[in-house]
Amino acid sequence: MVNINIDGINLQVEEGTTIMEAAKKIHVNIPSLCHHEDQSVKSVCRICVVEVNGQKLLQPACSYPVAESMSIRTNTPRIIKARKNILELIFSHHPQDCLNCDKNGSCELQSIAQDLNMNSPIRYEVELRGKAVDTSSPSITFDANKCILCGRCVEVCNDVQTVGILAKENRGYNTVVAPPYGKKLQDTACVNCGQCVQVCPVGALTIHDDTNLVYKAKEEGKVLIAQVAPSSRTTIAEALGEETGTVSTGRMITAMKMLGFDYVFDTDFTADLTIMEEGNELLNRITNGGVLPMMTSCCPGWVKFCETSYPKYTQHLSSAKSPQQMFGSVIKTYFAQKAGIDPANIFSCSIMPCTAKKFECKRPEMSDSGYQDVDAALTVQELAKLIKSAGIDFSKLEESRFDNPFGLGSGAGEIFAATGGVMEAALRTVYEVLTGEELKQLEFQAVRGFEGLKEAAVDINGTTVKVAVVHSLGEARKIMDRVVDGTADYHFIEVMACPGGCIGGGGNPVRNWKKVAKRTVNVYQQDKDLPIRKSHESPAIKMIYEEFLGEPLSETSHHLLHTKYAN
Ligand code: SF4
Ligand code: SF4
């Protein structure tokens, strides 16, 4: 431990602690634009400068380690002046359109400017980069003019996701962050995961906004049908300013009804349907010598990564569509018939934690109902915008229930939100179907948590079924390299593109690991609280097989619920 003094307060901290971390202990938040608590230290924005031992040269608090008897000042007039000067230089290169910027109200640059009382005109001439805004991606909008070169997106795209789309180009004043060879995002191997949006401190990388499609559908008199993903009910309240992890299923449904949705269904239902189809596909592959290891296919970010980085291995992907897309097919066929609605008059919309779902619903093969199965995939952040635009005070709403007949999913469907959840849900069903015995211990702890790779071996009727779970595409790459060299000795592998799984998805409120952990606790609590915790026991699942599909992997199932991949 070392003894230091910050702004007149004596404290002891561990050797190697940075000044920024030490200051937090006495409740001083030193501003920074490049620093992110889950990322490496970059020390590029220099907003965090402080005085150390009275030296003339200011030092960056994010990277400067404390030492014995160090005396630090974090708020002298010289420091405030230096920070303001750095901000003015950033402003001279940054569009001044805060009022209609997507990040208005949540921009870190705006917030630091406000905190530093930047209330007079800047002294420098404004010179913008003059780059065209890239709206080519269905998921992400990239405005390079707003980029402040912090490097957060470059790190997440290259080091965490290993997709390598974003990099710094050129030198000095001409430095920009851009996809390779001047390409637009849509023309690259970007998997649409939105993790770059999650870390961008300003409005350079934002979610492609589809809220206008809801208003348009209402104006056209369409029947508005929504499905809500498992993790969305754990993050919508957070997106509207409530505490992280607040579950608000009932209030969310009320708000959606007030927004004009005619039906609000629970995507847990098709998460259960995915387990029925995918679980039976796994049994089929194991007993009939199919391609193993089978890999989950419910994450469109991962599916695109597999298609672009491991195109020869797409036969390992389960042919089952994602829960979003299964619901899309079911709504415009089975439900439309049951409710007597012309499917052409349905606007089918999903509320997802995910930016990649926007890409997935537009894939040309996702139209087995005879129409685009899901017309729009909205993120949790977009639903929050719709609720705010309507002036709804979310905190005061009464609770409502999901609509029938797809209003009750199982706990197994609920845990799709977390890394390991799809695997655990599948094991609950596969075990009971194969053994005919009741599974006493429903929780598979070995596949829970945030380890990059989780493994389990489960004895089912004398066969040891080996499974693995990975999250983030960096971990997916490691396990795929083992599949390629033949050392991935598993029957079934779950892959989720986002760190932590969908609960850390690119369309959720801004994440860090502490928030993801807090949200995940409540995901598992919801599973515990549900009366039905296994997919095959859900009454809605029994009903759709009895009335419409026949049995898992039937011809109708294959037509509506399964797909093929690009290779
Ligand atoms: Fe990279 Fe994902 Fe952002 Fe695409 S969406 S640029 S893959 S981080
Ligand atoms: Fe979307 Fe979930 Fe995949 Fe992230 S992990 S890309 S949120 S499906």
User: pLDDT tens, 235-253?
Assistant: 999 999 999 999 999 999 9
Q: Which residues contact residue 504 at a Cβ distance below 8 angstroms, ignoring those fewer than 6 apart?
A: 498, 511, 516
The highest-level CATH class for domain 212-561 is: alpha beta
**What is the phi/psi pair of residue 20, to 5°?**
-60, -45
Ligand 1 centroid–CA 495 distance in Å is 17
Whether 120 has a pLDDT exceeding 90, the answer reads no
Which residue has a Cα nearest atom 1 of ligand 2?
Answer: 354
| Residues having CB within 6 Å of any atom of ligand 2 | 193, 299, 301-302, 353-354, 356-357, 496-498, 501-502, 505
Q: How far is CA 477 from the centre of its chain?
A: 18
* pLDDT for position 503: 97
User: pLDDT tens, 30-81?
Assistant: 999 999 999 999 999 999 999 999 999 999 999 999 999 999 999 999 999 9
* pLDDT for position 172: 85
Whether 566 has a pLDDT exceeding 80, the answer reads no
Quickly state the pLDDT bin for 463 (edges 50, 70, 90).
Answer: confident
For residues 168 and 166, what is the distance between their CA atoms, to the nearest angstrom?
A: 7
Helices of type H across 7-76? 19-25
For residues 278 and 522, what is the distance between their CA atoms, to the nearest angstrom?
A: 26
For residues 52 and 119, what is the distance between their CA atoms, to the nearest angstrom?
A: 28
Ligand 2 centroid–CA 192 distance in Å is 9
* pLDDT for position 408: 83
For residues 385 and 373, what is the distance between their CA atoms, to the nearest angstrom?
A: 24
SS3 233: helix
Which residue has a Cα nearest atom 4 of ligand 1?
Answer: 190
Residues forming the active site: 278, 281, 298, 318, 357, 360, 365, 502
For residues 85 and 256, what is the distance between their CA atoms, to the nearest angstrom?
A: 45
User: pLDDT tens, 281-311?
Assistant: 999 999 899 999 999 999 999 999 999 999 9
We find that the CATH architecture of domain 127-207 is: 2-Layer Sandwich (3.30)
* pLDDT for position 411: 96
What's the average model confidence in pLDDT over 192-199? 98
* pLDDT for position 462: 86
SS3 205: strand
Ligand 1 centroid–CA 196 distance in Å is 6
Q: Where are the domains of the chain?
A: 2-75, 127-207, 212-561
What's the average model confidence in pLDDT over 316-327? 98
Quickly state the pLDDT bin for 567 (edges 50, 70, 90).
Answer: low
In degrees, rounded to 5, the angle at the alpha carbon of residue 512 between the alpha carbons of residues 43 and 443 is 145
- Cβ of residue 161 lying under 6 Å from some atom of ligand 1: yes
The residue written with tokens 């199982």 in the block is 410
Which residue type sits at 68?
E
For residues 213 and 202, what is the distance between their CA atoms, to the nearest angstrom?
A: 25
Query: How many Cβ atoms are within 10 Å of 104's Cβ, its own excluded?
Result: 12
2-75 and 212-561: identical CATH topology: no
Identify the CA nearest to 499 among candidates 482, 484, 514. 514
User: pLDDT tens, 431-452?
Assistant: 998 889 999 999 999 999 999 9
* pLDDT for position 349: 98
SS3 7: coil
For residues 79 and 565, what is the distance between their CA atoms, to the nearest angstrom?
A: 56
CATH of domain 2-75: 3.10.20.740
Q: What is the mean pLDDT of the chain?
A: 96
Q: What one-character-per-residue DSSP string does 295-326 give?
A: E----HHHHHHHHHH-GGGGGGB-SBPPHHHH
Q: Which residues contact residue 494 at a Cβ distance below 8 angstroms, ignoring those fewer than 6 apart?
A: 295, 296, 419, 420, 422, 423, 447, 467, 468, 469, 470
Whether 390 has a pLDDT exceeding 70, the answer reads yes
* pLDDT for position 173: 83
C-beta of residue 323 within 8 angstroms of C-beta of residue 270: yes
